């Protein structure tokens, strides 16, 4: 789509930070966490929580300075929530999970500033159909020359 000036329309910016209400619920509904030191370059600490009421397991991964960089919740071994974050707290991607925990449905991925990087549809965790990819300024990305 072109704007009035003839420039392609830029992708939107969506600021999606760590869900503080979800974190609060995890902390309030779980026993004391088990903390593992991983000492990897991407994940340094893993906090593992189990909810008293329904045994939902929450794993929170933090980098070496304590920023939450990922969170996964499972119930009866099935993913019910999965998120990965940039160190500034911005969500890296938003996907839809089926009842069986599979990435299926609309998906949006972001740059660190919240600008949309790509959006489209997933089926069983794989891209299907037409995806819109954007450069860091939000303009439609040029296809790779292969």
Element housing 29 (H / E): helix 20-29
Q: How far is Cα 43 from Cα 48, in angstroms, rounded to an integer?
A: 13
Token digits of residue 134 = 């954007």
- The residue with greater pLDDT, 2 or 47, is 47
pLDDT value at position 124?
93
The phi and psi torsions of 114 (rounded to 5 degrees) equal 95, -5
Quick: pLDDT tens for 60-91: 999 888 899 999 999 998 999 999 999 899 99
Question: What pTM does this model have?
Answer: 0.77
Quick: pLDDT tens for 126-137: 999 999 999 999
């Amino acid at each position: 789509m072109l704007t009035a000036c003839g420039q392609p329309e830029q992708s939107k910016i969506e600021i999606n930070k760590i869900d503080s209400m979800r974190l609060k619920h995890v902390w309030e509904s779980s026993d004391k966490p088990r903390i593992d030191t991983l000492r990897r370059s991407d994940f340094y600490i893993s906090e593992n929580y189990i909810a008293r009421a329904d045994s939902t397991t929450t794993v929170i991964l933090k980098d070496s300075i304590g920023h939450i960089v990922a969170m996964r919740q499972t119930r009866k071994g099935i993913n019910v929530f999965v998120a990965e974050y940039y160190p500034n707290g911005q969500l890296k991607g938003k996907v839809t999970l089926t009842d069986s925990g599979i990435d299926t449905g609309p998906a949006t991925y972001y740059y660190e500033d919240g600008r949309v990087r790509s959006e489209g549809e997933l089926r069983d965790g794989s891209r299907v159909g037409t995806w819109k990819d954007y450069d860091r300024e939000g303009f439609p990305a040029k296809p790779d020359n292969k």
